[in-house]
Amino acid sequence: MFFEPSIERHKNPERKGQIEVICGSMFSGKTEELIRRLNRAKIARQKVEIFKPSVDKRYHEEDVVSHNETSIRSTPVNFADDILLLSGDCDVVGIDEVQFFDEQIVSVAQKLANKGKRVILAGLDMDFEGMPFEPMPKLMAIAEYVTKVHAICMKCGDLAAFSFRLSDSKQKVMLGEKDAYEARCRKCFYEDKK
């Protein structure tokens, strides 16, 4: 369980920002964890803004929607740089599906945190081949806190860190994921990998 930084720290005009990364495979509850932290920040009366890449059009245009339908209002943006312009005077910036952003997201996260904002980024850490999904590795390196959440292997019931693609497509970004992927543990992922 992740414990938030002291609220007092964020009331201080000289507050320090920070970067938090929530990573994991598909179906691991990344978005639920992002929403949990953002809702708690709202309860603390902090100003929260949420963004997601406009490529993610699986569900509703303006909501960050997780697989279990918990949702929160968000702004779809085309480029990482747009977040700098749109985040204004908020205290906390949440960004979902970070792996779909361009490389600029790394400097954007740095700039926001250096301005004193708490930046929470959620995304897939590995692609369907089990390789690091840029720009997540860089964000994990510059973050103060990294939380890896796990799904349950749909083959054996163990903890799962991999996203197994059921179809033969080699396309990296393939949406409409619910039917196309399974969460898998290491053993079950590499046993069936094509």
151 belongs to the binding site for Zn ion (CB under 5 A): no
To the question of whether residue 74 is assigned a binding role by annotation, the answer is no
**How many other CB atoms are there within 10 angstroms of residue 62's CB atom?**
13
The residue range among 1-9, 46-54, 78-86, 158-166 that interacts with Zn ion, by the rule CB under 5 A, is 158-166
For residue 155, what are the contacts with CB-CB under 8 A and spacing of at least 6?
A: 182, 184, 185, 188, 192
Instruction: Give the nearer residue to Zn ion in terms of CB position, either 133 or 164.
Output: 164
Instruction: Report, as residue numbers or ranges, the catalytic residues.
Output: 97
Rounded CA separation 152/161 (Å): 8
Contact between residue 189 and residue 162 where contact means Cβ atoms under 8 Å apart:
yes
CB of 29 to Zn ion, least distance (A): 18
CB of 190 to Zn ion, least distance (A): 10
Instruction: Give the nearer residue to Zn ion in terms of CB position, either 26 or 105.
Output: 26
Give, in degrees to the nearest 5, the angle at Cα 18 between 15 and 22: 150
The residue range among 11-19, 104-112, 136-144, 149-157 that interacts with Zn ion, by the rule CB under 5 A, is 149-157
Radius of gyration of the chain (CA): 17
Contact between residue 79 and residue 54 where contact means Cβ atoms under 8 Å apart:
no
To the question of whether residue 98 is assigned a binding role by annotation, the answer is yes
Q: Which amino acid is at 136?
A: M
To the question of whether residue 28 is assigned a binding role by annotation, the answer is yes
Residue 164 tokens read as 């197994």
Beta bridge partners of 77: 53
Contact between residue 58 and residue 178 where contact means Cβ atoms under 8 Å apart:
no
155 belongs to the binding site for Zn ion (CB under 5 A): yes
185 belongs to the binding site for Zn ion (CB under 5 A): yes
The residue range among 44-52, 88-96, 130-138, 181-189 that interacts with Zn ion, by the rule CB under 5 A, is 181-189
To the question of whether residue 31 is assigned a binding role by annotation, the answer is yes
Interstrand relation of 159-160 and 151-152 (parallel, antiparallel or unpaired) = antiparallel
CB of 40 to Zn ion, least distance (A): 33
186 belongs to the binding site for Zn ion (CB under 5 A): no
CB of 25 to Zn ion, least distance (A): 12
Binding site for Zn(2+): what residues are annotated? Answer: 153, 156, 185, 188
Interface contacts to Zn ion, rule CB under 5 A: 153, 155-156, 158, 185, 188
